[in-house]
Amino acid sequence: MATPSTCSLLMLCLPLLGGVASPGASAADIGAFGTRFEVPLVSMREARFQRTLHQQYDFSCGSAAVATLLTHHYADPVTEEFVFEQMYQQGDQQKIRKEGFSLLDIKRFLASRGFLADGFQLPLDKLAEAGFPAIVLVAEQGYRHFVVVKGLGQSRVLIGDPAGGTRAMPRASFEAIWQGRLLFVIHGRVTPSAPGPVATEGAMQAARFNDADDWRAAPQAPLGLAISRSGLDQLTMPKNDGGNF
């Protein structure tokens, strides 16, 4: 696989979000008409990391991106810690400590689990056509790090960022930070029952892309429900007697 030099120059991921972590999910006890029921409550930060694994170290965005891809898009649950240990043991440890994981490290790990993966210089629209998620390298605030492209909307890109969680950003903004225009995708599998790679169409049906569960972490503002400015002059306030508010 031809990997652009930008991937091998991976230094540090985005600094982890500061502040005290939000408390765990809770439930609100609501009573109405003599009936009580609980409604689960989840903070926005917790929602962002429900389907994106949070990186544990500054240089572990690669392992967290792989764990996110396999766990939430290919029904192959793995932890970031496991991926990290395996890629570190199989890779150039001195280089990893200095520069972080590369796409070659990721490719080797996926191959060890029977996944065929490569990098392709293709436009984003190809992901929507194929229905595949992808790992990409982006550069934000001076740092290069790996994220997972989880979905594409008409004007937004949904990414799983190991540092910031699941978030959507304008397509133009994503294009500006996307390094090398490289889409690293799983395009086939090797199974014990098959002598060679399984055809993409049959093997990749399980891939989850543009999944509604992912988009819930990045809802779009319902601007269409806003009151038209032209109708504001029709709104009146009730008038109280005696000059009182």
| 13-72 per-position pLDDT tens digit | 433 333 334 445 555 555 555 666 565 656 777 888 899 999 998 889 999 999 999 999
Domains of the chain listed by start with CATH number: 43-186+205-216 (3.90.70.10)
Q: What pLDDT is stored for residue 14 in this prediction?
A: 38
Q: What pLDDT is stored for residue 194 in this prediction?
A: 55
Q: What is the 3-state secondary structure (H, E, C) of the chain?
A: CCCCHHHHCCCCCCCCCCCCCCCCCEEEEEEECCEEEEEEECCHHHHHCCCCCCCCCCCCHHHHHHHHHHHHHCCCCCCHHHHHHHHHHHCCHHHHHHHCCCHHHHHHHHHHCCEEEEEECCCCHHHHHHCCCEEEEEEECCEEEEEEEEEECCCEEEEEECCCEEEEEEHHHHHHHECCCCEEEEEEECCCCCCCCECHHHHCCCCCCCCHHHHCCCCCCCHHHCCCHHHHHHCCCCCCHHHCC
| Cα–Cα distance for residue pair 91/165, rounded to 1 Å | 26
Q: What pLDDT is stored for residue 47 in this prediction?
A: 81
Of 61, 127, 134, 186, the catalytic one is 61
13 is catalytic: no
Each of the 245 residues of the chain gets a pLDDT tens digit; together they read 444 444 433 434 433 333 334 445 555 555 555 666 565 656 777 888 899 999 998 889 999 999 999 999 999 999 999 999 999 999 999 999 888 899 999 999 999 999 999 999 999 999 999 999 999 999 998 899 999 999 999 999 999 999 999 999 999 999 999 999 999 999 998 876 555 555 555 556 679 999 999 999 888 765 554 555 555 555 554 555 554 43
